[in-house]
Amino acid sequence: MTTLVAPVADLLVRQRAYWNTGATHSLEFRLAQLKALREAILTYQADIIDAARQDLGRPEFEACFEIGTIGELDYVIKHLPRWVKHRKVSLSLSQKPGSAWVQPEPLGVVLIIGPWNYPFQLIISPLMGAIAAGNCAILKPSELAPATSKVLARLVEATFDPAHVALVEGGVDTAQALLAERFDHVLFTGGERVGKLVMQAAAQHLTPVTLELGGKSPCIVDVDVNVEVAARRIVWGKFLNAGQTCIAPDYLLVDERVKAELVTALQQRIVECYGENPAENPDLSRVLNDCQFDRLVGLLNQGNILAGGEHDRSDRYIAPTLIDSVSWDDPIMQEEIFGPILPILTYRSLDEAIATLRQRPKPLALYLFSRDRQVQTQVLDRTTAGSVCINDVILQVAVWNLPFGGVGSSGIGRYHGQHSFDTFSNLKSVLKKPFWMDVDWRYPPYEGKVKQFRKLIGLS
C-alpha cells in the first residue's frame, strides 16, 4: 500500500525535483504512463468493483461506472498528440511581420483530492489530465470510501514511480497537511463547505484551483413531453448510486398540467426497477454511512410522501422516495439532497419557473424534458448552469469533449478530455518577430507620429 512514509514536504520536494529533470515532459513519456494506467485499471477491475460494493453497496452494473472512465482515457490517448502541439493564432496588420502561437506546457506538481461517491472515477479522471499535461501528481482519495482508497493505493504503487504519481491515504489531518504546501494546481471534488476551505488554503500560496462542487440541480418537466420516457430516465438518474451523484436531478419542477400523469409514471417506474420491496432488490445502492443516513431521514419529515419513505438504519437503506407538498422554504429545498429522495414542485408558466430558478444559486446541472424547441431555447437562454441536458439526465458527463464543471457556488473551472489537459497546462502565449523589418513609428521622438499611430490602432 502506498502511504505517506516521508513528510508531505519531503514528498513534494521529491516530485518537484523529478519534474525539473524534464522526464515527464515528452509526449512519449506521457503516452506510456497513460497506457500503463489503462492496463492497471483492467488488471484491478474486479477489485475496483468489489470495493464499490463494500463502500456503497453498489450493484456490479453501477460499480462498472467506476472503470467506465477508461473510455475517457482512450479518448485522451488518441487525441493527446494533437493537444500538445503549438496552436497558431493570427496577427493583426500592426503586428506583422511575425508569428504567434499558444504553447501548452506542464504546470509542475498538482494535488487531486477525490470524493467518496464515485471514489475511483473522480480520482482517475483528473489524474489522466494531469499526466497528459506532463505534470507530477499527488492523490488524496476519500477516507470515507476506505475499500476503494486501498485499491487505488495498490494500483498507484504498482503503476507509477512515486516521484511522478503518489497517493496519500488519510483523513482530514492529511488533507490539511497537503493543502498547507505549495502546489501548482489543486483539483478538489466534493461539497461547497469543504470547497471553501480548499480555496482558502490554496489562496495562501496563490495556487489556482478547480473546484467540482454540487448544488441543487433542477429538472424541469414541460407539458409537451413523452411522460413514460421522461419517467424512465428521471428514475434512473435520480436513484443511481442511491441518489449520491453530484449531477443527479435534485428536484422536479413540473408543469402543473402534467404532474398527475408524471407522478403515476414515476411510481410505476420505481416498482418496475426496484420491485414492491426495494430493500430486497440487489440493484439499489446504499447510503454511505450513518451520518448521511440520519441527515436524509430527517428530510423525510416534511411534505407528502407519494412513494417510498421506508428506511432501515442497520442496512443504511432508504427506499426510492417521491415527495410533494413541499415549499421552497422547507429544509429539503435548502441543501443538496444527495440521496434517494425526490421532491416534486410545480409551476404554472415557464416564465414563473425560470424566474424562480434565477433567484437561486447556479446549479452544477440543469435538466429539461420538453419537445418544444421554443421552450428549450427559452430555458437555455435564460438560465445558467454548469451543464444542461435536454430530454435525458446524467449522460452529458460522459461526452468527453464537453467541459465538465460548475458555475458560481457549484464550482470553478472545467475538466474532461482536452479541458482536463488545458486545466493542468500553462497555455503560454508566444510572439516571435524577425529582425529584418523595424519601422521606427513606435520609437521616440513621437513628434509627428500621433496621427499615424491613431490610424494604425483603428482610431480616427
Catalytic residues: 212, 246
Backbone angles phi, psi at 115, to 5 degrees: -100, 180
Q: Which residues have C-beta within 8 Å of that of residue 92, sequence separation ≥ 6? A: none
Residue type, 267: Q
Q: Give alpha helix (H) positions in 280-438.
A: 290-298, 350-358, 373-382, 417-423
Query: Alpha-carbon distance 342 to 221, whole Å?
Result: 14
**Burial class of 451 by CB neighbour count within 10 A (0 to 12, 13 to 18, 19+):** exposed
Query: Alpha-carbon distance 400 to 127, whole Å?
Result: 15
Full DSSP string of 132-189: HTT-EEEEE--TTSHHHHHHHHHHHHHHS-TTTEEE---SHHHHHHHHTS--SEEEEE
Q: Which residues have C-beta within 8 Å of that of residue 313, sequence separation ≥ 6? A: 290, 293, 294, 297
Residue type, 430: V
Query: Alpha-carbon distance 343 to 181, whole Å?
Result: 42
